[in-house]
Amino acid sequence: MGIHFYVEGGIFRFQDPATGAVHECGPGTKFVIPERTLHIEEEHSGYKGVVGMTKDPVPQPFVRPPEEL
């Protein structure tokens, strides 16, 4: 399932495991995490955002082990 995310406040940080690059997304940032994309959410001091899922209902379990990706 893919995720659409819009940052409303604070800073959302995530790491791309393929490159090691850490991305910082501030207010007004919208991004899409395609289905079956491995990513690492970094430590943060808090953020607010709106999340949309590309499937309804949400498949369970929602968080899956990396080997399933």
Q: Which residues pair with 57 in a beta bridge?
A: none
Q: What is the DSSP letter of 54?
A: S
Strands (E), 11-57: 12-15, 22-25, 30-33, 40-41, 47-53
Write down the residue that tokens 């495991």 correspond to.
17
pLDDT tens per residue across span 36-66? 777 677 666 789 999 998 888 877 887 777 7
pTM: 0.68
pLDDT tens per residue across span 10-35? 998 888 888 888 888 899 999 888 88
